Structure 1
């Protein structure tokens, strides 16, 4: 990945540019002020630049020993398919090494990508979402029957 420059830590990151990356990745609307909060509260962050343009990002919340959670991994569409997303995940996994468990939730259809990076399906994971109906519609949650 010699064509890319990697940065760790969120200081100095243009949050408007980061918000645009999430919109075009496409991972939804994440306003700059919300990104300031979530990246500011994440123990590990990485940002990938091509010619001074932000083309990839990711973060991991972590407690320092028991659990780390990888979230918000995005790659600009023009840079997808080059292994950049996998490299972001690998960097975050390396940063969180030593935690007893490292988790993430995968969007439906992306499970095989994460399996290739060493993730296994969780049998007992459950979640509470702010908008559970939408999460069910998107295939992230399974409704109780």
Structure 2
């Protein structure tokens, strides 16, 4: 496995990225929406193996105070190889200098992110468009 890294959105096949998120599985993310959200992100990371997109992630950031690491995904064929760790490390390096770096994890993946120094926030709150779905997935808790 020889990974070629890119931080450049130019030339990204958004349909291929859509398929990556579906396979990862991180849900159904529309190619046009992915192009928009990656385009609005300060930092992006793409990993290719023999020309095939096998991993990606991004960071929404304001350049000083807050960076939000999100949408880290790795194809199942490349999971368990350290690729996800490398994506997170690259995105954290890009985000250095921000006062805080936040994320929310897929339920059950918190120990993975704890290895990078992430701790649970005691006061974090969120509003999701599909509230019940977020509750069912363990992302939100009522009360």
TM-score normalised by length of structure 1? 0.97
RMSD: 0.8
1:122 paired to 2:121: yes
Mapping for residues 84-95 of structure 1, pairs under 5 Å: 84-95=83-94
TM-score normalised by length of structure 2? 0.98
Moved over 6 A (4+): none
Partner SS state of residue 107, structure 2 = coil
Question: Where does structure 2 lack aligned partners over 5 or more consecutive residues?
Answer: none
Question: Where does structure 1 lack aligned partners over 5 or more consecutive residues?
Answer: none
The alignment covers a number of residue pairs equal to: 143
Number of the residue aligned with 1:141: 140
Number of the residue aligned with 1:100: 99
Number of the residue aligned with 2:14: 15
Q: Distance in 2 between matches of 1:43 and 1:9?
A: 11
Number of the residue aligned with 1:49: 48
Q: After superposition, give the CA deviation of every residue in 1:12-61 in whole Å (9 maximum; x if it has no partner).
A: 10000000000000111001100011000000001000000000000000
Deviation at 1:103, TM superposition (A): 0.4
More displaced, 2-11 or 42-51? 2-11
